[in-house]
């Protein structure tokens, strides 16, 4: 319990850079949660990489002091998958928003869940595109009329990321809230420790384009259920949910990709491989 | 990491909580100072930076006490037991606005000090440990003085009109 | 009487097995010491379609298919006329037809070739478990003068799993076909091979060669999304990378495959993917990320007919524009074109070296005619090119500047896992330390840096294959190099001089090397397989073309033939 060497603190994982996020934005608290999780895990900074796409929340890597990749819109999961498969020794965390992850990057999300590479994906969900001035995202309610692009509302059913992740095979599925960064930090740390693909949906209000989300702190409520390991049971919980339940839905038992069976060990040299071409 | 049931039930655990409370207060003030600076609110930025420096003094003080008792446990953020979601002297990220006035900022800071005072009061009233009670009382008194000081500052900074958060420009497209 | 080369087409449909026969013929010829190549042509059906195996066998290395088809062996005539343009029959050609399959199509008869009947199906039917394609193989092998023992060993290798009865049936069918062909006395037996006893020859496809070049260069990660005609690059790597301690993962689409490669490369592992036109189009945004974030990556693009889905199974040289100009913004990168099946090894290896050395994107523009052609060739020479990335391994006293504007333009990377050198690879424009920046000075500085890396690099003589001499030159690239080289060789054999310049380094341009290679040229023939003359237009944009310029361009799917280039060079006065 006692430690003579100084334990890392959250601040050790923060970069000395001023975020562009609006003051009041939920993402600051997600950053706090992420850095607290890294501190609790006591991971050396150089052994961690945060990969992101494009959007407000995808600015995350620059605000941490670990390795980072700020890639292009929608492709963070694919970049992170390549990094983790090439460098399984690293802890790879993916950060992004609802538009980046479920719209332009939707296909990668499906396949990251089913492939089950050992990644932790934090989606800061504010149901809006912030960096392009507030358009509807895949998680936006169908009757939200706040955008000039869809002045009558989208008329399209929103996605529930929890249900989607469970259906596609993610191995750890949780919903947290930026207003409770310590619980969120706990989820992130558990997600990192859990083998395979972890989705943490972090409800994170946008104070600029969705000021009504300030009320989320009154709407969220902690799950009454314990985490389950059977995705079908977790699916039932998610289907009956009002989308404001925070907690861990699934702690699955699938082995991470690549599984032990797919790792081959017969080693050859390039020169030996070339022999296959000799007539 | 350690499972901590019951919160600050020993002197070392109490000091661990106290140190976390001060560190989080300091780091948050520094962060908010930076946030407001990035959004060109120099007055409030400076104010938060000042509050951060004060919090640093308290960090140093608690660190000294921790050393005296031979070290304190390391806890994960979620293992601390707080009355609310974060440590009681930590300004919420959602409590700031880029157009906020120094008065608003001082209200936030004042609430933080009151929160810290009430936390220590609660510990003092509920703990079974006499040493913890003694320390908690003394911290409660100190936080109480801070709260009073901030109340004085608040009087010096007049409040601003109702529509203080009005922005004449629409938000920018940036990505 | 014997010949130096022989071209055969084996056609058939509905599972006749002509592709297998062609492959076995090539393998047996290779085993017996000859050279050769086999191209494939087929209908759009996945199974049961009409197919043609186009096999060239020769005593010397084959640069290009022969201009005439010496032998057409048809197991049946189902829809065979679809291949008419690929079957250059002449009155000297021989058609071997099975009378049970109906008359030889009029279009084919019109070429005036001699028709010999061989009751392929009936002969096979007389053997228990007999197969028509084995009768055909026996006949083809006998015509080419291949030793029966070699054919048998290749067949037995393939049929090994099916047991002794299948092998015995095959042997009987082979003998029946061979006996008939020997009786015809066609005099087309190949002469003794010309290669030295000690030389090592390979039996390899261009797509396999690209895979080999990648691992020779140090690639240890591949993310793959299947697409015709590039899939074999990925399949070859899938079998080999794990044995080298590397990784291959099947991606969900081409956006993911290149993104995964960029992620792996950021992690310090040299990475490659392979695709064709539609996939390349999808990858363009992420290729820009490779350039901006200075993360090395190699894309082998095996070109097919376009636009849109186009003609997936046929070659065209029409992704040149998108490869060079497709990225948004000013995005300096490398585009290379292999000049033969064997050169796919060397050029891909060079691409890995350049991408890693210059920390940028390298695109290898192969095409279907290189990638899916299997050739028997002399073993390509070893190249020294390795993935040598400039890496900072220890933190200094100053803050790490990942994108430092160094004199060479190349700045040291750090690899995740290295303490004290944490940085963010950035697709936004950035400062030297990698912080996002929209400032004019940072933008100009980083643009200069990324261009300078390429400008300052000494690419060396590999930028092109420059061969021959004379005042007339043929200027070409990629799969057109083979027929161009064969045309120049034919002229040389006749005592006539022409120059060949086949550009391997398509971008960045090398104006001074180019001027030197073409110094003294009065007449220039530009050859390419592109309706829009993409190569010629690119040359015009980058180079001063000397003398009188003639452009011979046409679209796929038919490859350009040696004789078409030969005739034009003759017309230019060679």
Mean pLDDT, consecutive 10-residue stretches, chain C (574 aa), reads 93 89 95 94 85 95 95 94 91 97 94 96 95 96 95 90 87 97 94 78 97 98 98 97 96 98 98 98 98 98 96 96 97 98 98 98 98 95 95 94 98 98 98 96 98 97 97 98 98 97 98 97 98 98 97 95 97 95
- The distance of A16 to chain B (nearest Cα, Å) reads 9
B174–A131 C-beta distance less than 8 A: yes
Nearest-CB residue to C264 (from A47, A62, A83): A83
Q: Where are the alpha helices (DSSP H) in C225-314?
A: 231-240, 254-266, 277-293
Closest-CA residue to A186 (of A36, A7, A24, A31):
A36
**Does C249 reach chain A within 8 Å, measured CB to CB?**
yes
Task: List the structure tokens of C186.
Answer: 């066609």
Q: Does B27 touch chain A (CB under 8 A)?
A: yes
Cis peptide preceding C495, ω within 30 of 0: no
CB C569 within 8 A of CB C487: yes
A221 φ, ψ to 5°? Answer: -150, 145
Output the CA torsion A152→A153→A155→A161 (10° steps): 170
The one-character DSSP state at B10 is S
Contact residues, chain C, for A86 at CB < 8 Å: 220-221, 247, 263-265, 267-269, 271
Instruction: Give the chain B residue nearest A29 (alpha carbons).
Output: B93
CB atoms C261 and A82 under 8 Å: yes
Q: Do A182 and B86 touch (CB under 8 A)?
A: yes
CB contact under 8 A, A82 and C267: yes
Q: Identify any residues that bridge with A248 across adjacent strands, giving them in sequence order.
A: A174
Q: Is A238 on the interface with C (CB under 8 A)?
A: no
Cα–Cα distances (Å) from B126 to B9, B65, B123, in that order, read: 9, 22, 5
Q: Which of C538, C541, C542 is nearest to C321 (CA)?
A: C538
Q: How many other C-beta atoms can be found within 10 angstroms of the C-beta atom of residue A47?
A: 16
C416 at interface of A, judged by CB pairs closer than 8 A: yes
Q: Do B100 and A40 touch (CB under 8 A)?
A: no
CA distance C71 to C79: 18
How many angstroms separate the CA atoms of C35 and C254, rounded?
A: 36
Contact A83 C423 (CB under 8 A): no
What pLDDT score was predicted for residue B172? 81
Q: What is the pLDDT of residue A261?
A: 59
Torsion angle defined by CA atoms of residues C208, C213, C219 and C223, in that order, rounded to the nearest 10 degrees:
-30
- List the single residue in A18, A32, A209 with the smallest CB-CB distance to B38: A18
pLDDT, position C158: 86
Instruction: From chain A, pick out residues whose CB is under 8 angstroms from the CB of B96.
Output: 23-24
Query: CB distance from C48 to chain A under 8 Å?
Result: no
| Distance in angstroms (rounded) separating the CA atoms of residues A131 and C276 | 34
User: Which residue is closest to A211 within chain B, CA to CA?
Assistant: B94
| Cross-chain Cβ contact A273/C240 below 8 Å | yes
CB pairs under 8 A between A and C: 178
Q: Check A133 against B1: CB less than 8 A apart.
A: no
Who's near C145: CB < 8 A, 6+ residues apart?
A: C2, C188, C189, C190
Q: Which residue of B has its CA nearest to A72?
A: B175
Judged by DSSP in three states, C120 sits in helix
- Three-state secondary structure along C52-109? EEEEEEECCCCCCCCCCCCEEEECCCCCHHHHHHHCCCCCCCEEEECHHHCCCCHHHH
Q: Which residue among A87, A268, A279 places its CB closest to the CB of C203?
A: A279
> Can you tell me which residue has the tokens 């990556």?
C297
Contacts of B173 in chain A (CB under 8 A): 131-133
Token output for A240:
């009956």
Q: Would you state the structure tokens that stand for residue C150, as one six-digit string?
A: 């070699």
How far is C489 from C4, CA to CA, in rounded Å? 15
Q: For A101-122, how does the pLDDT look when each residue is reduced to its tens digit (9 = 90+)?
A: 999 999 999 999 999 999 999 9
Which residue in B175, C428, C437 sits closest to A132, CA to CA? B175
Partner-chain contact A278 C379, CB within 8 Å: yes
CB contact under 8 Å between A18 and B175, yes or no, is no
ipTM field: 0.97
From residue A54, alpha-carbon distances to A10, A208, B52, C426, C444 in Å are: 24, 18, 32, 11, 23
C239 is written with which tokens? 């079998």
| Chain segment A148-187, per-residue pLDDT in tens | 999 999 999 999 999 999 999 999 999 999 999 999 999 9
Cβ neighbours of residue B68 closer than 8 Å, sequence gap 6 or more: none
What tokens does C551 get?
């452009």
Tokens for B171?
A: 């938000």
Average pLDDT rounded to a whole number, residues A48-54: 98
Selecting from B39, B95, B175 the residue whose C-beta is nearest the C-beta of A132 gives B175
Please report how the helices C148-159 and C132-144 are oriented relative to each other, as an axis angle in degrees rounded to 10.
150
**Interface contact B34, partner A, CB < 8 A:** yes
SS (H, E, C) B86-137: CCCCCCCHHHCCCCCCHHHHHHHHHHHHHHHHHHHHHHHHHCCCHHHHHHHH
Angle, in degrees to the nearest 10, between helices C277-293 and C254-266: 30
Q: A70 vs C256: CB contact, 8 Å cut-off?
A: no
Q: Of C93, C26, C86, whose CA–CA distance to C52 is shortest?
A: C86
What's the distance, Cα to Cα, between the start and end of chain B in Å? Answer: 40
Of the partner residues A74, A82, A277, the one whose CB lies closest to the CB of residue C223: A82
Identify which of A54, A80, A258 has the shortest CB distance to residue C263: A80
Q: How far is A158 from chain B (nearest CA, A)?
A: 24
Cβ contacts below 8 Å, chain A against chain B, sum to 109
Least CB–CB distance from B78: residue in A32, A183, A214: A183
Q: Which whole number is the average pLDDT over A10-19?
A: 93
**Cβ neighbours of B100 in A, within 8 Å:** 23
Cα separation, C2 vs C498, in Å, equals 30
Residues 16-75 of A with CB under 8 A from C: 17, 44-47, 49, 51, 54, 61-62, 65-72, 74-75
**B167 interface with A at CB cutoff 8 Å:** no
Look up the pTM and report it. 0.96
Helix (H, G, I), strand (E, B) or coil at B171: coil
Measured CA to CA in angstroms, residue A176 lies from A25, A125, B4, B67, C380 at distances of: 15, 10, 22, 36, 58
Measured between CA atoms, the residue of chain B closest to residue A35 is: B77
Of A99, A100, A116, A83, nearest to A196 (Cα)?
A116
Q: In DSSP terms, which residues pair with C33 in a beta bridge?
A: none
Partners of residue A70 in chain C, C-beta under 8 Å? 424-428, 436
Check whether A5 has a pLDDT greater than 80.
no
Going through C112-205 in order, the beta strands assigned E by DSSP cover: 114-117, 201-205
Exposed / middle / buried, residue C46 (Cβ in 10 Å: 0-12, 13-18, 19+): exposed
pLDDT by residue for chain B (175 residues), tens digit each?
A: 334 456 778 999 999 999 999 999 999 999 999 999 999 999 999 999 999 999 999 999 999 999 999 999 999 999 999 999 999 999 999 999 999 999 999 999 999 999 999 999 999 999 999 999 999 999 999 999 999 999 999 988 888 788 888 888 888 877 7
Any A CB within 8 A of C281 CB: no
Q: How far is B2 from chain A (nearest CA, A)?
A: 7
Diameter over CA atoms, chain C: 85
Q: Which of C198, C267, C327, C329 to probe the A interface (max A CBs under 10 A)?
A: C267
Separation between Cα atoms, residue A210 and residue C125, nearest integer Å: 78
- pLDDT (0 to 100) of residue B175: 74
Query: B48 contacts in A (CB within 8 Å)?
Result: none
Query: What is the DSSP secondary structure assignment for residue C380, as one 8-state letter?
Result: P
- Say how far apart CA A14 and CA C172 lie, in whole Å: 77
Which of A44, A45, A70 is nearest residue C428 as measured by Cβ atoms? A70
**Which chain A residues are Cβ-neighbours of B93 within 8 angstroms?**
24-26, 28-29, 32, 178
Residue of B nearest to A7 (CA): B74
Q: What is the pLDDT, as a whole number, of residue A1?
A: 39
Please tell me the total number of residues recorded for chain B in this structure. 175
Per-residue model confidence (pLDDT) at position B160: 79
Among C387, B175, C278, C165, smallest CA distance to A20 is for: B175
Residues of chain A with Cβ-Cβ distance to C262 below 8 Å are 71, 79, 82
Contact list in B for residue A182 (CB cut-off 8 A) is 77-78, 80, 82, 85-86
Best of A3, A18, A23 to substitute, by most chain B Cβ atoms within 10 angstroms, is A23
What's the DSSP call for residue B170?
Answer: P
Q: Which of B1, B27, B93 sits opposite A29 (nearest CB)?
A: B93
Query: Taking the CB of residue B130, how many other CB atoms lie within 10 A of it?
Result: 9
Closest CA to B20 of B35, B36, B4, B38: B4
* Residue B116, min C-alpha distance to chain A (Å): 18
CA distance A261 to chain B (A): 33
């Amino acid at each position: 319990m006692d430690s003579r060497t100084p334990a890392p603190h959250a601040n050790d994982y923060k970069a000395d850079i001023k975020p562009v996020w609006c003051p009041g934005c939920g993402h600051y608290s997600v950053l706090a949660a992420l850095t607290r999780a890294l501190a609790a895990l006591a991971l050396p900074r150089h052994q961690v990489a945060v990969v992101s796409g494009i959007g407000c929340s995808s600015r995350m890597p620059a605000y941490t002091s670990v390795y980072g990749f700020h890639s292009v819109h929608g492709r963070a999961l694919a970049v992170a998958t390549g990094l983790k498969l090439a460098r399984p020794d690293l802890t790879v965390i993916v950060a992004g928003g609802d538009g980046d992850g479920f719209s332009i990057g939707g296909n990668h999300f499906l396949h990251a869940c089913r492939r089950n590479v050992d990644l932790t994906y934090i989606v800061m969900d504010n149901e809006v595109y912030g960096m392009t001035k507030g358009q509807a995202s895949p998680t936006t309610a169908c009757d939200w009329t706040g955008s000039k692009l869809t002045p009558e509302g989208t008329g399209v059913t929103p996605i529930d990321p929890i249900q989607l992740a469970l259906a596609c095979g993610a191995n750890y599925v949780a919903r947290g809230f930026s207003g409770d960064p310590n619980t969120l930090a706990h989820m992130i740390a558990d997600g990192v420790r859990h083998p395979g693909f972890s989705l943490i949906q972090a409800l994170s209000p946008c104070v600029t384009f969705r000021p009504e989300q300030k009320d989320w702190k009154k709407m969220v409520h902690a799950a009454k259920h314990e985490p389950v390991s059977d995705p079908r049971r977790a699916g039932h919980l998610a289907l009956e949910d009002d989308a404001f339940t925070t907690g861990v839905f699934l702690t699955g038992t699938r082995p991470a990709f690549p599984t032990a069976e797919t790792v081959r060990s017969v080693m050859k040299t390039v020169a030996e491989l070339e022999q296959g071409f000799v007539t | 990491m350690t499972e901590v049931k019951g919160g600050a039930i020993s002197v070392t655990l109490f000091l661990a909580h106290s140190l976390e409370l001060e560190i989080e207060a300091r780091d948050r003030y520094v962060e908010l100072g930076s946030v407001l600076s990035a959004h060109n609110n120099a007055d409030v930025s400076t104010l938060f930076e000042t509050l951060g420096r004060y919090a640093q003094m308290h960090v140093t003080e608690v660190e000294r006490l921790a050393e005296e008792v031979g070290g304190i446990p390391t806890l994960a953020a979620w293992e601390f037991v707080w009355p609310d979601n974060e440590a009681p002297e930590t300004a919420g990220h959602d409590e700031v606005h880029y157009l906020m006035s120094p008065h608003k900022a001082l209200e936030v800071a004042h609430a933080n000090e009151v929160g810290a005072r009430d936390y220590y009061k609660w510990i003092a009233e509920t703990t079974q440990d006499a040493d913890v009670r003694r320390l908690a009382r003394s911290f409660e008194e100190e936080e109480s003085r801070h709260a009073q000081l901030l109340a004085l500052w608040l009087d010096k900074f007049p409040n601003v009109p109702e529509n203080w958060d009005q922005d004449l420009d629409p938000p920018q497209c940036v990505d | 009487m014997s010949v130096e080369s022989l071209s055969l087409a084996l056609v058939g449909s509905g599972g006749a097995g002509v592709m297998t026969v062609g492959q076995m013929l090539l393998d047996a010829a290779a085993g017996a010491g000859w050279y050769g190549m086999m191209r494939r042509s087929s209908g759009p059906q996945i199974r049961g379609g009409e197919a043609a195996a186009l096999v060239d066998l020769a005593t010397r290395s084959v640069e290009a298919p022969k201009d005439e088809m010496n032998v057409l062996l048809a197991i049946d005539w189902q829809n065979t006329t679809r291949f008419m343009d690929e079957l250059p029959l002449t009155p000297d050609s021989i058609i071997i037809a099975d009378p049970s399959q109906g008359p030889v199509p009029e279009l084919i008869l019109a070429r005036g070739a001699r028709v010999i009947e061989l009751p392929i199906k009936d002969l096979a039917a007389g053997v228990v478990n007999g197969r028509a394609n084995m009768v055909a193989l026996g006949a083809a092998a006998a015509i080419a003068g291949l030793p029966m023992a070699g054919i048998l060993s290749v067949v037995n290798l393939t049929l090994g799993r099916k047991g002794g009865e299948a092998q015995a049936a095959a042997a009987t069918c082979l003998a029946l076909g061979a006996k008939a062909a020997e009786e015809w006395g066609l005099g087309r037996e190949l002469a003794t091979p010309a290669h030295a006893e000690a030389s090592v020859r390979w039996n390899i496809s261009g797509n396999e060669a690209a895979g080999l070049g990648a691992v020779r260069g140090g690639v240890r990660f591949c993310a793959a999304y299947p697409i015709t005609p590039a899939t074999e690059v990925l399949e070859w790597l899938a079998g080999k990378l794990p044995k080298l301690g590397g990784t291959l993962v099947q991606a969900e689409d081409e956006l993911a495959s290149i993104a995964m490669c960029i992620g792996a490369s950021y992690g310090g592992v040299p990475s490659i993917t392979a695709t064709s036109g539609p996939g390349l189009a999808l990858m363009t945004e992420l290729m820009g990320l490779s350039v901006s974030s200075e993360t090395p990556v190699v894309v082998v693009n095996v070109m097919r007919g376009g636009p849109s889905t186009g003609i997936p199974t046929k070659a065209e040289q029409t992704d040149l524009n998108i490869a060079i100009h497709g990225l948004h913004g000013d995005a300096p990168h490398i585009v290379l074109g292999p000049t033969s099946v064997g050169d796919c090894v060397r050029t891909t290896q060079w691409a890995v070296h350049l991408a890693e050395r210059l920390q940028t994107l390298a695109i290898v523009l192969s095409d279907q005619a290189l990638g899916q052609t299997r050739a028997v060739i002399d073993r390509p020479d070893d190249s020294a090119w390795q993935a040598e990335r400039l890496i900072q391994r220890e933190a200094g006293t100053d803050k790490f500047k990942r994108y430092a504007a160094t004199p060479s333009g190349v700045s040291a990377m750090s690899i995740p896992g290295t303490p004290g050198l944490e940085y963010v690879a950035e697709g936004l424009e950035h400062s030297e330390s990698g912080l996002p920046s929209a400032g004019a000075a940072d933008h100009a500085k980083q643009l200069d840096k990324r261009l300078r890396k390429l400008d300052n690099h000494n690419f060396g003589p590999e930028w092109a294959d420059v061969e021959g001499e004379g005042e007339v030159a043929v200027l070409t690239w990629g799969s057109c190099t083979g027929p161009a080289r064969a045309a120049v060789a034919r002229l040389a054999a006749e005592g006539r001089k022409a120059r060949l310049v086949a550009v391997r380094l398509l971008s960045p341009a090398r104006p001074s090397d180019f001027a030197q290679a073409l110094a003294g040229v009065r007449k220039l023939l530009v050859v390419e397989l592109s309706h829009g003359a993409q190569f010629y237009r690119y040359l015009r944009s980058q180079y001063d073309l000397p003398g009188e310029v003639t452009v011979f361009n046409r679209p796929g799917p038919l490859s350009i033939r040696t004789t078409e280039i030969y005739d034009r060079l003759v017309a230019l006065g060679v």
